[in-house]
Amino acid sequence: MRTALEKKKAQGVLIPEKHGGRQEYLKPMDDILRTSVKEHIDKFPKVETHYCRQSSTREYLHPELTLKKVYDLYCKEIPHDQPKASFKTYTRVFGSINLSFHHPKKKCSLCSSYRYADEERKI
């Protein structure tokens, strides 16, 4: 009761509470960081699915990459004096893009024969 009375202004109105929520001055920086993350992800070469092109729009990154490796490359690319997105923000932006890290499971017979062929047959 005492705290509520201390927050009362001379006009009889209470001062609004300042608990929680994002600070307004941080919101523009979020857009800048998300844009930098999206630009970084767009630099990687993408491969579309082989058989399911008509029914799927998902694209794939190289299977040796992981989200942590890609984020580490992002951190190395950004200079130390500039702000960089957190791993959580990077994960959210990556999740909003239709990407994955594994090879498509379906492959055509030509691709499979090339993969297991000797060097002479590949040429």
pLDDT in tens, 112-121: 666 666 777 6
> Predicted confidence band at 64 (pLDDT cuts at 50, 70, 90)?
confident
Q: Contact 90/37 with Cβ under 8 angstroms?
A: yes
Give pLDDT, residue 114: 66
Task: Give the chain's length.
Answer: 123
Q: Which of 17-21, 70-74, 105-109 has the highest average model confidence (pLDDT)?
A: 70-74
Choice between 94 and 98, residue whose per-residue pLDDT is larger: 94
Q: How far apart are CA 117 and CA 113, in angstroms?
A: 6
Find the mean pLDDT for residues 6-26.
Answer: 75
> CB neighbours of 69 closer than 8 A, spacing ≥ 6?
none
**Distance from C-alpha of 1 to C-alpha of 119, rounded to nearest angstrom:** 84
